[in-house]
Structures are given as C-alpha cells and as structure tokens.
Amino acid sequence: MKGLTHPSFIIHNPSLKKEMDTKDIQNLIDFIAQSGLDEVSIETNELKLNVKRYGQTPVSAAQPVAQPAVQAALPAAQAAVSAPAAAPAPAPKADTSNYLTIKSPMIGTFYRSAGPDADSFVEIGDEVKPGKTVCIIEAMKLFNEIESEVAGRIVKVLVENATPVEYDQPLFLVEPV
C-alpha cells in the first residue's frame, strides 16, 4: 500500500445477515475517524453504506441528520458571496400589498405553457378572469390546468418555467381591476 494517498476499505458480503443499527454505523464512523482510511464501503443484500472522510471530518453518504445543517449553511454562504455584488445600490422592494396572489393548489412541476413550442397561457400585462387557465402543474404524470380565481392584470410571474412548486406557493401577482 506504499504510495497510496487515499486508502480505502471495501466489504462486500451478500450473505451477511446482521442488520446495522445507528450505533453500529456510529461505531464504524468513529473507527474510520481513528484509522488512516479515507473511505469505507459496506454492501449486503439489505444495506449499501459508503463512508468517506474529507480532511479531518468524516462524512457519511447516508446522513439525514447532517443534511439540514449543510442546507442551512448554504444560504448563509451564498448570501455572503452575493452580498458584495448587491452592495452598490440595492433595489427598493416594490409594495405588493395591493396585489392578489395566485397560489399553487398542489405540489408538482410548474409549466407556463401546454408544450415547449406553445405560447404561455399568460404573460405579464395580460388580463385574467376567474376560470382562465394561467399555467399547468404536473403531479404524478398528470397535467393539471390551474385556473385563476381572481380578476385582474398579471404584474409578475413568481416561478420559473419547469421548476418544482410547493402547495400554496405563490405563482403570480395580479393587480385587481
């Protein structure tokens, strides 16, 4: 193993019947932290586990507890990176309190048109009335036409085409008429 810069250890035993619990996995991570190994992979019929160490901090491929901390740290890091660029002249926020909001009635993927080559259902400046289709949300391979429940003029599209949306997420801002 002389000259190896990233030692690794792989166990592949499909006949291994013992299930690993959280304590076993924590013990494995502790073992890796104290050893000179950078990566350990364990594979059985019921389990596939990869543990990798980057620098001095062990990282597990299956770490649901650590993911929220990483995701929470990302916006702060992105804000820190984008803050110098936004410093010269921040745009004043528009007052949207007098606008109505068309919200997503379901979780799915937002589409502004019926197909890639089709025109958008609505554009900024278009008048909408209750019952007019404003977009499509795909959920579980079903395409659901979303109709406006308000009357007014579209002033802003709040979601990019072909992006995921959540239940009750604002999709459009409408100026009432």
Give the sign of the dihedral formed by CA 93, CA 98, CA 104, CA 109: negative
Residues 108 and 55 both lie in one domain = no
Least confident range from 34-38, 52-56, 105-109, 161-165: namely: 52-56
Residues 109 and 52 both lie in one domain = no
pLDDT digits (tens, 9 = 90+) for 130-163: 999 999 999 999 999 999 999 999 999 999 999 9
Residues 104 and 169 both lie in one domain = yes
57: pLDDT strictly greater than 80: no
Number of independent structural domains in the chain: 2
| Closest to 134 measured CA to CA, from 152, 122, 117 | 122
**pLDDT interval class at 172 (50, 70, 90):** very high
Give the sign of the dihedral formed by CA 65, CA 68, CA 69, CA 74: positive
Q: Could you list the residue range(s) of the whole structural domain that residue 47 is in?
A: 8-60
Give the side-chain half-sphere CA count within 13 A for 101. 11
Q: What is the side-by-side order of every strand in the sheet holding 100-103?
A: 100-103, 170-176, 152-157, 127-128
**pLDDT interval class at 115 (50, 70, 90):** very high
27, part of any domain: yes
Averaged over 39-61, what is the pLDDT? 59
pLDDT of residue 177: 86
Residues 158 and 107 both lie in one domain = yes
Give the side-chain half-sphere CA count within 13 A for 52. 5
